[in-house]
Amino acid sequence: MNLRMAGLSVAVLFTALLPLAASAVTSGTYESVSSEAKSAKPLLSDALSAEQGGRGREQQAGDTDKKPTEKISPPGLLSESRLPAGPVGADAPVSRCGPELTSPQGVEAQTCVMTQGQDVWARTYYRNTTGGQLHAHTTLLGPGGRAVVLRCEVGAHDGPGVCETPRGPAHGAVDGYTAVAEYAAAGRAEDSPLLLRTGSSRASAPIG
């Protein structure tokens, strides 16, 4: 009789513990999923370009041992600028960029030659910390003296921005194209000193 009662008590105790154990496992699984969900959000800030986000996801999903043939997203302003969404992978634009430069007055910029298929254009990334408005002239220089110039108004804010020329078909090899961007204070040209000049060449040097 005592043995039967003892066995029944053990069974009742074991049955009572089951909901607690199940509750503990469910709670632990939930915390784990919640933690993974937080770590799975993009590591890049909201200001990163859609081009880079797509490229990063593609590289993570693809072969990690495969090295890219050309660097599309140099560090610095280029990786912080807000850009419109575009294609990724083999159809993504390819950039050939000069160094990121900063003027003593507080203009930061990086200029690139962009290519996609047969199209070529110039793009400059900037950040204006001078506290005043600027004029930016972005120029694409091509073979045979070809040149495309675009003027952009740079607002007096320190957020990253982009100024780029229209796209056009390349005439000859794309390696024959270079890009230059010049930043000057807003106002009349004769009264606006040049603050910074950047180019797609690695030998670019700051002005000012």
37 and 96 together in one domain:
no
Position 141 scores a pLDDT of 95
- 64 in a structural domain: no
- 113 in a structural domain: yes
Position 187 scores a pLDDT of 77
93 and 31 together in one domain:
no
Per-residue confidence in pLDDT tens, the chain, 208 aa = 554 544 444 444 444 444 433 333 222 222 222 223 333 333 222 333 444 444 343 334 444 343 333 334 444 555 455 555 555 556 788 899 999 999 999 999 999 999 999 999 999 999 999 999 999 999 999 998 999 999 999 998 888 999 999 999 999 888 999 999 999 998 776 677 899 999 998 655 555 5
**Which CATH number covers residue 100?**
2.60.40
- 55 in a structural domain: no
Distance CA 114, CA 94 (A): 6
- Specify whether the CB–CB gap between 138 and 149 falls below 8 A: yes
Question: Containing domain of residue 37, as a range?
Answer: 1-41
Q: Would strands 160-164 and 119-128 be described as parallel, antiparallel, or unpaired?
A: antiparallel
Displacement of CA 39 from its chain's centroid (Å): 19
- Specify whether the CB–CB gap between 137 and 151 falls below 8 A: yes
- 56 in a structural domain: no
Helical spans, DSSP H, in the chain = 2-39, 50-61
- 126 in a structural domain: yes
- 79 in a structural domain: no
- Specify whether the CB–CB gap between 132 and 157 falls below 8 A: no
Position 9 scores a pLDDT of 47
Distance CA 155, CA 186 (A): 10
- 67 in a structural domain: no
